[in-house]
Amino acid sequence: MKVKLAPDGPEVSRIAIGLMRLRDWNLSALGIRRRIEQSVELGLTTFDHADIYGDYTCEALFGEALSSMPSLRRDIQLVTKCGIMLISDNNPGCAIKHYDTSRSHILASVEHSLKRLRTDYIDLLLIHRPDPAMDVDEIAEAFVSLRDSGKVLFFGVSNFTPFQFELLSSRLPFPLVTNQIECSVLMTKPFEDGTIDTCSKHQISPMAWSPMGGGYLFYGRSKQALRVRKELKVIGSRLAIPSLDTLALAWILKHPAGIVPVIGTGKMDRIIRALESLKTDLSREDWFRIWTASQGHDIP
DSSP letter string over the chain? -EEESSTTS-EEESSEEE-TTGGGG---HHHHHHHHHHHHHTT--EEE--TTHHHHTHHHHHHHHHTT-GGGGGG-EEEEEE-EE--BTTBTT--S-EE---HHHHHHHHHHHHHHHT-S-EEEEEE-S--TT--HHHHHHHHHHHHHHTSEEEEEEES--HHHHHHHHTT-SS----EEEE-BTTB-HHHHSSHHHHHHHTT---EEESTTGGGHHHH--SHHHHHHHHHHHHHHHHHT---HHHHHHHHHHHSTT--EEEE----HHHHHHHHHGGG----HHHHHHHHHHHHTS---
Average confidence (pLDDT) over 60-70: 96
- HEC profile for 253-265? HHCCCCCEEEECC
Q: What is the pLDDT of residue 293?
A: 98
Q: Write the pLDDT tens digit of every residue in 4-26.
A: 999 999 999 999 999 999 999 99
pLDDT at 134: 96
The pLDDT, as a whole number, for residue 159 is 98
| Per-residue pLDDT reduced to its tens digit, 205-242 | 999 999 999 999 999 999 999 999 999 999 999 999 99
Query: Which pLDDT belongs to residue 1?
Result: 83
Please give the Cα distance from 110 to 226 (Å, whole number).
42
pLDDT (mean) for 45-55: 98
pLDDT in tens, 149-200: 999 999 999 999 999 999 999 999 999 999 999 999 999 999 999 999 999 9
What pLDDT is stored for residue 156 in this prediction? Answer: 98
- pLDDT value of residue 33: 95
pLDDT more than 90, % of the chain: 99
- The separation between CA 225 and the C-alpha centre of its own chain, rounded to angstroms, equals 22
Residue 55 is predicted with a pLDDT of 98
Q: Are 172 and 156 in contact (CB under 8 A)?
A: no
pLDDT for res 199: 98
Question: What mean pLDDT is predicted for residues 244-253?
Answer: 97
Partners of 82 in the β-ladder = 127
Instruction: Report the pLDDT value the prediction gives residue 180, as an integer from 0 to 100.
Output: 98
In CATH, 2-177 is 3.20.20.100: yes
- pLDDT over 90 (residue 266): no
219 is catalytic: no
What's residue 172's pLDDT?
A: 98
Average pLDDT of the segment spanning 277-283: 96
Arithmetic mean of pLDDT over the chain:
97
Q: How confident is the model at residue 283 (pLDDT cuts 50, 70, 90)?
A: very high
Q: What angle is formed at CA 249 by the lines to CA 247 and CA 251, rounded to 5 degrees?
A: 70
